[in-house]
């Protein structure tokens, strides 16, 4: 009886297999090393690139004249340390606990999205109100919502599995919730985050078994909505037309300025790059070089080799995440499988959009590169997401060995 109580207190993990911190002891066969090390290596490469892209900002930009050369590096390093610690404790939580907490996490994220719009509470930067100042860091609720949506959509599909093919009982309630989230994100405005949230939810409900005709109608409605927002919002329309012809003189100095400077960075990088720290475009020619356009700095300093390294890293990570989801589904762990697939869609779609914007394949949109770009909230949520995936894999492996989870 005493052993059973200890096991229960340790989240279902045998006390003999738990270290002094209460974290399960891991051996080589207990977790997927690809899912562990690819994000870790991307994070530390990102830390180096954040320092490289921001160290000269105080001398090259009036906007950052009062900042220390190490300002962004130190804040990003601190966020990484906090994220790693929280990820360790998140890994300790059984996925059944994640499933129970999914609706609560979604409700908290929704509340924070409302709170950030309240004057004198939410912080406004460049005309967008997306951050909650917490002193040591700024919290971005939209990043929390990405994780919350993946978990909540998976939980919803499990709870509504008998009605998921029915529009009124299964799809309509989820569509209403996503619409509410979308309205709050557009009010910030943060169309990029809304696109990611929609991609996550649509992907999860599609994999969860929604009727393909209903799914096609939802896709058509969403595409029409996005097109309408672009057409009837002058600055978004101007950005789109500038993207179509970025080198036209008015566009290159206006709406397509970021794109042209990003393309110049890739051009300078050629095959092997100009070398770490030797980027010229980061010297205030390329706006947001340490956030949205850090991929362009990688292209300039590491060349085509660096670009392909990042692309391959994300490809390997996302492919392995889908493999873990398939393993979970084989054990009829539907929530775990759908949640991991939702997280894979998040990382895949956001990385694709960021890279596409940097290389001129897609219109300019303010989305960061997961695990690499500067941003405490993004790093924190990304690490928590990876901790969840590792926990799913950890439990899968225990089931394969005939052990309980």
151 with 208, same domain?
A: yes
Q: What is the pLDDT of residue 399?
A: 93
Cα gap 161→190, rounded to integer Å: 31
Number of domains in the chain: 2
Q: Which two tokens stand for residue 9?
A: 């207190």
Same domain, 301 and 202: no
- Let me know whether 225 and 309 are in one domain: no
Both 257 and 334 in a single domain?
A: yes
Which strand ranges, in their side-by-side order, compose the sheet holding 128-133?
123-125, 128-133, 138-139
328 φ/ψ angles, rounded to the nearest 5 degrees: -65, -40
Q: How far apart are CA 157 and CA 192, in angstroms?
A: 25
The pLDDT of 328-357, averaged and rounded, is: 96
Is pLDDT above 50 for 7? no
Q: Are 128 and 224 part of one and the same domain?
A: yes
The answer on 369 and 250 residing in a single domain is yes
For the chain, what is the mean pLDDT?
A: 87
The pLDDT tens digits for 39-70 are: 999 999 999 999 999 998 888 777 887 888 89
Domain end (from 232, 258, 284) = 232
214 plus 289 within the same structural domain: no
- Asked whether residue 252 falls in the same domain as residue 394, the answer is yes
Based on the domain organization, do 253 and 396 belong to the same domain? yes
Same domain, 218 and 251: no
User: Are 139 and 216 contained in the same domain?
Assistant: yes
For residue 166, is pLDDT > 60?
yes
Q: Residue 174 domain-assigned?
A: yes
Q: How confident is the model at residue 29 (pLDDT cuts 50, 70, 90)?
A: low
Q: Give the domain extent around 251.
A: 24-92+246-400
**Which band of pLDDT confidence, cut at 50, 70 and 90, is reported for residue 181?**
very high
**Each residue of 285-327: pLDDT tens digit?**
888 899 999 999 999 999 999 999 999 999 999 999 999 999 9
Asked if the model's pLDDT at residue 214 lies above 50, the reply is yes
Instruction: Please report which confidence band the pLDDT of residue 236 belongs to, taking 50, 70 and 90 as the band edges.
Output: confident
- The tokens describing 49, both together, are 């690139």
348 domain-assigned:
yes
* Torsion angles phi and psi, residue 249, rounded to 5: -55, -45
Portion of the chain with pLDDT greater than 70, in percent:
91
On whether both 394 and 271 belong to a single domain, the answer is yes
**Cα–Cα distance for residue pair 143/156, rounded to 1 Å:** 20
């Amino acid at each position: 009886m005493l052993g059973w109580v200890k096991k229960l207190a340790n989240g279902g993990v045998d006390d003999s297999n738990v270290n002094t911190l209460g974290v399960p002891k891991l051996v080589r066969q207990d977790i997927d090393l690809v899912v562990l090390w690819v994000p870790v290596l991307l994070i530390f490469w990102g830390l180096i690139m954040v320092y490289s892209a921001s160290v000269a900002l105080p001398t090259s930009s009036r906007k950052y004249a009062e900042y220390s050369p190490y300002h962004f590096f130190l804040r990003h390093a601190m966020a990484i340390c906090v994220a790693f610690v929280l990820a360790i404790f998140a890994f300790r939580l059984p996925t059944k606990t994640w499933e129970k907490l999914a609706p609560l996490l979604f409700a908290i994220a929704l509340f924070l999205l409302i709170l950030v719009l309240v004057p004198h509470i939410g912080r406004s930067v460049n005309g967008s109100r997306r951050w909650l100042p917490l002193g040591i860091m700024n919290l971005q609720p939209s990043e929390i919502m990405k994780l919350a949506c993946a978990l909540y959509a998976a939980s919803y599909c499990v709870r509504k599995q008998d009605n998921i093919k029915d529009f009124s009982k299964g799809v309509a309630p989820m569509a209403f919730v996503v619409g509410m989230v979308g309205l709050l994100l557009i009010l910030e405005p943060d169309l990029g985050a809304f696109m990611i949230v929609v991609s996550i939810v649509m992907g999860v409900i599609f994999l969860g078994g929604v009727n393909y005709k209903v799914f096609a109608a939802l896709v058509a409605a969403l595409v029409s909505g996005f097109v309408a927002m672009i057409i009837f919002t002058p600055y978004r329309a101007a950005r789109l037309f500038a993207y179509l012809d970025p080198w036209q003189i008015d566009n290159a100095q206006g709406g397509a300025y970021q794109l042209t400077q990003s393309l110049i960075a890739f051009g300078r990088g050629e095959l092997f790059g100009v070398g770490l720290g030797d980027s010229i475009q980061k010297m205030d020619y390329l706006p947001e070089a340490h956030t949205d356009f850090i991929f362009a700095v990688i292209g300039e300093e590491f060349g085509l080799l660096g670009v392909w390294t990042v692309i391959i890293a994300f490809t390997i990570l996302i492919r392995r995440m889908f493999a873990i989801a398939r393993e979970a589904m084989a054990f009829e762990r539907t929530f775990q499988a759908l949640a991991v697939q939702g997280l894979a869609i998040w990382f895949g779609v956001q990385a694709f959009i960021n890279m596409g914007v940097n290389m001129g394949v897609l219109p300019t949109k303010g989305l960061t590169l997961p695990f690499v770009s500067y941003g405490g909230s993004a790093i924190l949520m990304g690490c928590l997401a990876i901790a969840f995936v590792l926990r799913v894999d950890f439990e899968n492996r225990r089931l394969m060995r005939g052990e309980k989870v």
